[in-house]
Amino acid sequence: MFSESFRRGLMTRKLFGTDGIRGTANVEPMTAVTALHVAMAAAARFHRTDHGSSVVIGKDTRLSGYMIESALTAGFTSMGMDVFLVGPMPTPAVAMLTRSLRADVGVVISASHNPFADNGIKLFGPDGHKLSDETEAEIEARITANGHGAGIPGLPQGKALGRARRLEDAAGRYIEHVKNTFPRGLRLDGLKIVVDCANGAAYKVAPQVLWELGAEIVPLSVEPNGLNINENCGATATARMCAAVVEYGADLGLALDGDADRLIIADENGREIDGDQLMAVIALDQFASGTLKGGGVVATVMSNLGLERYLAGLRLTLCRTGVGDRYVVEAMREQGFNVGGEQSGHIILADHATTGDGLIAALQVLAVIKRSERPTSQVCHMFEPVPQLLRNVRFVPGPDRPAPLETEAVRGAIAAAEQRLGGQGRVLIRKSGTEPVIRVMAEGDDPDLVDTVVGDICTAIEESGHKIAAA
């Protein structure tokens, strides 16, 4: 079952990708000049004349954040919008503050789980939701048409210029918001929790939330220096967090990524628990309490078949979308679901947030663990994952090379793989939205067969003139 937004496919855009604008800092498109023009174009799109227009700008802990923050601030204020600067703050915090402050737009400067040398710009509308493909395309068109003036005939002058100021209570506002999603009367007293903040945006707020709710905290990666965000830590490098759980005898570990919109958990044995298992925990809890909406869960095409089968056993639906939490959110809004997410740990809980929030998702899982009085390993192991294998094939675009998925040999290999797996598995082949890579994924009950069919498809692509890249 696929969402309507996934069926529509992505609009053709050069600047915006699957999650805003992203690239190497100080290399196009992630330069101060482009950031200035993005801000001006976004201001032209969202500026309202019936009240003082404003924008919330937050960032993670990357060194390049200072440069991009200054350029964005200049662009918005030059267009007559007031700017609230909140400093290092999780992506979901900026979405929440945009709504809370009745701002017209929210901006997050972050490349999420990428290395520190990268950066990105994510935009939220006044409702706290990421912008649609159509709105991003409109902003991009304004830049292309007239980057200097952002598509308007004249720039504000004199008193019409905007102001910028630091929002000193931003962290406190977000901390209280997150705590209010935890069940009333329940506390985390007695739980020892390792929390890995990836030297990123949640390095202050995440330990504070958990401590205020009563937990004993073992903080990791809470000393950002501008260069160490996501470096061998956080949700995409969980080895240190998993080892710390065992070393300190903790009940569990929580790992966030650089902008804290995704979550990976480790049980008391140091075993990693991914987003599919966490969605199952939360969905079952809400199903039992009668608060699950939409009759199931929204996840992407990458979620394990085991999750789909588990939900089907409860007579619940798994609605699949394209890769990217924004498409999960779109499907949730279109079809009335309140739980969705990605295997990578983006968990969207529509009753509490408009985007993935690692902290809020963690509190919902912690509530289940606390009420059950059982070990994390028992609470969070909801189903046996179906064997799944993902490999990447890098290709070099050019007029003398065939499109990777259009040769007869590749199409034949894919068709043969689907036939061999039959109803006991599935094949997913997709082109990356951020690099020249074809992602070849298959899953099924027979791991040897899965390995064989993935290998056959990759070989067919390689023989068509492309090279296998590291997964």
Count, residues in the chain? 471
Assess contact for 417 and 428: CB atoms under 8 A. no
The whole-number pLDDT of residue 247 equals 98
Q: Which of 105, 85, 112 is nearest to 19 (CA)?
A: 112
pLDDT at 469: 42
Class of domain 173-272: alpha beta
- Decide if 150 contacts 40 (C-beta within 8 A): yes
Ranges of residues in the chain with a pLDDT under 50 are 1-11, 148-151, 466-471
Active-site entry in 78, 110, 112, 344: 112
Please tell me the predicted confidence (pLDDT) of residue 12.
54
Task: Kindly state which CATH superfamily the domain 273-358 is placed in.
Answer: Alpha-D-Glucose-1,6-Bisphosphate, subunit A, domain 3 (3.40.120.10)
Q: What is the pLDDT of residue 95?
A: 97
Q: Can 11-168 and 173-272 be said to share one CATH topology?
A: yes
Write the secondary structure of 295-324 as one string of H (helix), E (strand) and C (coil).
CEEEEECCCCHHHHHHHHHCCCEEEEECCC
From the centroid of its chain, how far is CA 36? Answer: 24
Q: Would you call 377 a catalytic residue per the annotation?
A: no
Give how far Cα 125 sits from Cα of 93, 102, 122, 135, 137, Å. 14, 10, 10, 10, 14
Q: Quick one: CA torsion of 395, 396, 398, 401, rounded to 10 degrees?
A: -50
Which CATH code, of 3.40.1350.10, 3.40.50.1220, 1.20.1260.10, 3.40.120.10, is assigned to 11-168? Answer: 3.40.120.10
The 10 Å Cβ neighbour count of residue 372 is 12
From the number of C-beta atoms within 10 Å of its C-beta (0-12, 13-18, 19+), residue 254 rates as: buried
Task: Write phi, then psi, for 134 (nearest 5 degrees).
Answer: -65, -45
E strand intervals along 5-115: 21-24, 54-59, 82-88, 105-109
- C-alpha 222/C-alpha 199 separation (Å) is 5
Domain positions in the chain: 11-168, 173-272, 273-358, 388-469
Q: Taking the model in full, what pTM does it have? A: 0.89
Q: What is the pLDDT of residue 47?
A: 85
CA angle 30, 31, 33 (to 5 degrees): 130
- The CATH fold assigned to 388-469 is TATA-Binding Protein (3.30.310)
